[in-house]
Structure 1
Amino acid sequence: MLKSRIFLYLFVFTFLLVLFQFVTANNIQKALTEDVQQRDVRLEKLEDSLKTMHLKVLDMQYFSLENNDDALVYYDHLNLENPTRYIEDKLLETNEKTGDNPLIPYEGMESDFKINKIKVLNHKWILTDFSDGKYWGELLLEYELKDDLSVDFTMLDHLLYARSN
């Protein structure tokens, strides 16, 4: 009789232990499944964001010499590896003179006006940003890259932003 009770208690204890492990494993499985589903949702959102950003980058690159095969044809005979970089470097050389950049029609108020950012739009036009550290503006330039690799810049239009406190 004592032996059968021990087996009964052992059986009940084993049954409760198996039941506990079954419930625990089931809960862990549910949690892992929910985790995977949440990660899938986040991954989809990231993929959508990546596609959106890719489209924005393509949009921003639309007006650029690097992506304009028709404009690049004008420089095939010059054997320049990177015409955009060459033109940007030539434009930045205008900053090296003392005083304001000669292409900027304003006198610097805090210091000298210098060109900061450059966007070569095509084989004829450049958009630039300039600043003296406190005031800033933009220039629309026309340029000509000659066969001797010299570059002539002509200012087409300009603006100086009003400083707001």
Structure 2
Amino acid sequence: MKNRLFMYLFLFALLFIIYQYMNEKSIFERQENKIESLRAKLNQEKISVDSLQQELVNLNYFTLQGNDNAMSYFENLGYKAIDIEQMVSDNIYDQNLVKGNNPLVPYEGLNGAMKINKLKFLNHKWIIADYTDGTYWGEMLLEFYIDDNKSLTLSNLGSLLYTTN
């Protein structure tokens, strides 16, 4: 009787060990598959990030901060490009506070005063600006120059006003 009991216990233990082994093996395989799919997804995301970084480099090509020659132009004069950008932007946006149209905008606002909304520095000399009166809008190309006394000179090189249909 004792021998049979040990034999049954042994068989039960053997079946339990086989069951545990198979169960753990399937769990391990599922985890491995999940890890592989996550690695594949991670590689796709890395490719996507690399692509976006390259696109950002391309988009920043025509900016003051992305143009080494333009930045070195100001550095040779003893200025930091970011400080110049801030100074010029502040000056242009401050002109929006003047009653009426911004003096840099060559068009009269029909539904309010023309104000500059957005600026983009193209290099150490040019800025593209967007302006609107709330209904009509346009864009212009500005040239800026900073002399030795940090005096800013702005001039409008060209502008356009979009027509509404």
Question: Structure 2-normalised TM-score?
Answer: 0.86
Moved more, 155-164 or 81-90: 155-164
2:128 corresponding residue in structure 1: 127
**Cα distance between partner residues in 2 of 1:57 and 1:76:** 24
CA RMSD of aligned residues (A): 2.0
1:29 corresponding residue in structure 2: 28
Instruction: Note if 1:64 corresponds to 2:63.
Output: yes
1:64–1:119 Cα contact (<8 Å) kept: yes
Instruction: Note if 1:118 corresponds to 2:119.
Output: yes
AA paired with 1:85? Answer: Q
**Cα distance between partner residues in 1 of 2:101 and 2:107:** 8
**Cα distance between partner residues in 2 of 1:10 and 1:135:** 89
Q: 3-state SS of the aligned residue for 1:147? A: coil
AA paired with 2:27? Answer: I
Q: 1:24 to 1:70 in 2, by over 3 A?
A: same
**Cα distance between partner residues in 2 of 1:126 and 1:139:** 8
Q: 1:6 to 1:109 in 2, by over 3 A?
A: farther
1:118–1:128 Cα contact (<8 Å) kept: yes
Deviation at 1:159, TM superposition (A): 2.2
Render the CA deviation track for 1:34-89: whole Å, top value 9, x for unaligned: 11111111111111111111111111111112233333344346533322222222
Structure 1: any 5+ residue segments left out of the alignment?
Answer: none
- Alignment size in residue pairs: 163
Q: 1:23 to 1:61 in 2, by over 3 A?
A: same
Moved more, 70-79 or 120-129: 70-79
**Cα distance between partner residues in 2 of 1:18 and 1:74:** 76
AA paired with 2:25? Answer: N
Deviation at 1:90, TM superposition (A): 1.8
**Cα distance between partner residues in 2 of 1:15 and 1:43:** 41
Render the CA deviation track for 1:125-155: whole Å, top value 9, x for unaligned: 1111122334332111112222221222211
**Cα distance between partner residues in 2 of 1:16 and 1:77:** 82
1:43 corresponding residue in structure 2: 42
**Cα distance between partner residues in 2 of 1:11 and 1:109:** 96
Identity, % of aligned pairs? 35
Question: Structure 1-normalised TM-score?
Answer: 0.86
1:88–1:120 Cα contact (<8 Å) kept: no
